[in-house]
Amino acid sequence: MSERYDAIIIGAGVIGNAIAFELAKLGWRTLSLDKGPDAGSGSTSSSSAIIRTYYSVEASCALAYEGWHYWRDWAAHVNLPEGVPLIRYNETGCLVVKGPANKDLVHVMRMMDHIGCPYQEVPTERIADYLPGVDLRAYYPPKRPEEDGFCEPTGGEIAGAVFFPQGGFVNDPKLAAENLKQAAEAQGARFLFRAAVAEIRQEGGRVAGVTLADGRQIDAPVVINAGGPWSSKLNELAGVTRGMNISTRANRQEVAYIPGPRNFDFGTNGYIYSDGDTETYARPDSPGIICIGSGDPQCDPREWVDDPDSLTQDFTDQWTVNVMRTAQRFPELPIPGHAKGIVALYDVSDDWLPIYDRSDLPGFYMACGTSGNQFKNAPVAGKIMAHIVTSCEAGHDHDADPLQFHLARIDRVIDLGTYSRKREVNPNSSFSVIG
C-alpha cells in the first residue's frame, strides 16, 4: 500500500523547504523529496547568498524588501530550540555602481521610493569612501578577451552609485535550507533524501502523486515542483510545458573566490557590490577573501545545460574574464593563476524572473525559474506558494483572476500574476542574475 500525504514537494533547497515550512504551519501533511543526500545540497549550496532589495521589476523589489526582514530576524522566523546552529546574516549594505546595464538606476530609485525602501545616492567623487582606491573610469560595454579593447576604459567616468543599507549576505546558504527543514519538521513535515522522482502520476485529470526511481509509490493530491535546475525536466514529466508561455533552462555559472584588493580588506569590511558599468558583482566572504560573479553581459555566451546531472566542476576562461572585469574597478585586485570558487547551475526563466504558479494540470504547482536571484526571497516565496496552493485548491481561478499577496512587514500588496507561467516576457527585466 502506498503512502499518502496532503502535498509532495520536489526539491529540498531553500525555496522548497520554505514552502514545506509554510504549508506545515497551516496543518498540511507534507513530504519533501530530494535526489541529493541532505537539505540544500543542490544549487542552494552554491548560492552567493546575497540579500539585496534592488531588482528591475517593482514586485520583486517589494518581495525582496519584505524578505530582508526575515533574514534579519532569522531566529524568530524559524523558531528553533536554543542551541540549534543557525545561519548568520551579515548586514553590510549594498553599493551599486550606476551604468548603462542598470540604466543609471533611475527606474530602481523610483521603485524604491514607491515601496518605501531606503537608499542613498553616492556621487562619483564619494565612491572612494566606500571602495578605497577605486578606479572611476567607465568601461562599458564589456568585451570578450578576443575583442579589441578588452578591459580598456571607453571614456569618461562612471555616473555615481547608490547605497542600499538593507542588504548583506548569509554566511552558509546550505545551513539556511537545513534551518528551514528543521523548522518544517517541528511542524510535522517529513523529508526523504536520495529519492529521485521517475514519474508524476495522474488520475482523473489531476495529479495523484509520484513514483520514485526505486519503484516506491507515494500519493498526494498536490505536487509542487521546487526542483531548481531540474525543474524543466519535472515539468516535462508532468506534461505541463505546453501550457506555459515562460520556459526554464539550466544555465552554467562560475563564481570566483579570490584574495581581495591589496589596499583594503574587502573580505572583512566590504559591501555587497554590483556594477552596471563592468557588469560584475562581488561580496565579502571572510578576512582577505571575496566572492566574484558575472552580471551576464550580452557579449558572454550563455551556457545551457540539458542534463543537470552532467554538470562538470572544471573552470573555464570565464572565471578569468569575470575576475579581470572586476579588477577594472579595483586596481589592487590580484588575479590568481589558479582558479578557485564554485561552478553551479541557475534555473533560468526566459526573462530571469521566477515562476510561482499553478499549472494546467490540477494539483501540480511550480516554484521554478529562480535564475540565481531568488535565494534572498525564499522566506516570502514559501508564503506565496502556500497562498497560491491553498487558494487554488479551494477553487480560486488564479489564471482568470490573479491572486494578490499582502507583504505584512512592509504593508504592501503585490499582484502574483507577475510570476505567472502564462505571462508575457517582462520587458523591464534585466535579463540577468539581477532579475
Query: Taking phi first (over 0 means left), then psi (-120 to 50 degrees means alpha), and beta for anything else, what does residue 396 get?
Result: beta
Question: Is the same domain home to 391 and 338?
Answer: no
pLDDT of residue 116: 98
Residue 322 has which C-alpha cell? 569575470
- 301 and 328 share a domain? yes
Over range 349-366, report the average pLDDT. Answer: 98
Contact 398, 219 (CB under 8 A): no
356: CATH:
3.50.50.60
pLDDT in tens, 258-311: 999 999 999 999 999 999 999 999 999 999 999 999 999 999 999 999 999 999
State whether 292 and 319 are in the same domain: yes
Report the domain count for the chain.
Answer: 2
- Whole-angstrom CA distances from 347 to 50, 204, 228 are 17, 31, 5
Q: Are residues 241 and 256 in the same domain?
A: no
Cβ neighbours for 15, distance < 8 A, ≥ 6 positions apart: 44, 226, 228, 367, 370, 374, 378, 381, 382
In this prediction, residue 74 carries a pLDDT of: 98
Statement to judge: residues 160 and 267 lie in one domain: yes
- pLDDT interval class at 312 (50, 70, 90): confident
Asked whether residue 427 is assigned to any structural domain, the reply reads no
CA–CA dist 6, 22 (Å, integer) = 13
Which residues lie closer than 8 Å to 160 by C-beta, 6 or more apart?
Answer: 97, 98, 121, 122, 123, 124, 127
**44: nearest Cα among 381, 405, 428:** 381
3-state SS, residue 58? helix
Mean pLDDT, rounded, for 84-88: 98
Q: Is residue 214 assigned to a domain?
A: yes
pLDDT at 36 over 60: yes
Range of the domain at 279: 94-165+252-344
Whether residue 318 sits in one domain with residue 361: no
Residues with Cβ < 8 Å from 203, sequence gap 6 or more?
A: none
Are 184 and 301 in the same domain?
A: no
Do 259 and 326 lie in one domain? The reply is yes
Reported as a single tens digit per residue, the pLDDT across 199-213 is 999 999 999 999 999
The residues, ordered by sequence, that sit 6+ positions from 183 with a Cβ below 8 Å of its Cβ are 21, 77, 78, 79, 80
Residue 76: how many other CB atoms lie within 10 Å? 8
Please give the full DSSP string across 157-184, using - where no structure is assigned. B---EEEESS-EEES-HHHHHHHHHHHH
* Confidence at residue 366, expressed as pLDDT on a 0 to 100 scale: 98
Q: Specify whether 187 is located in the same domain as 308.
A: no
344, 376, 404 — which closes off a domain?
A: 344
**258 and 331 part of one domain:** yes
74 and 102: one domain?
no
Q: What is the pLDDT of residue 1?
A: 56
pLDDT tens track for 156-206: 999 999 999 999 999 999 999 999 999 999 999 999 999 999 999 999 999
pLDDT tens-digit profile of 379-431? 999 999 999 999 999 999 999 999 999 999 999 999 999 999 999 999 999 99
What mean pLDDT is predicted for residues 139-155? 96
Give the domain CATH number at 290.
Answer: 3.30.9.10
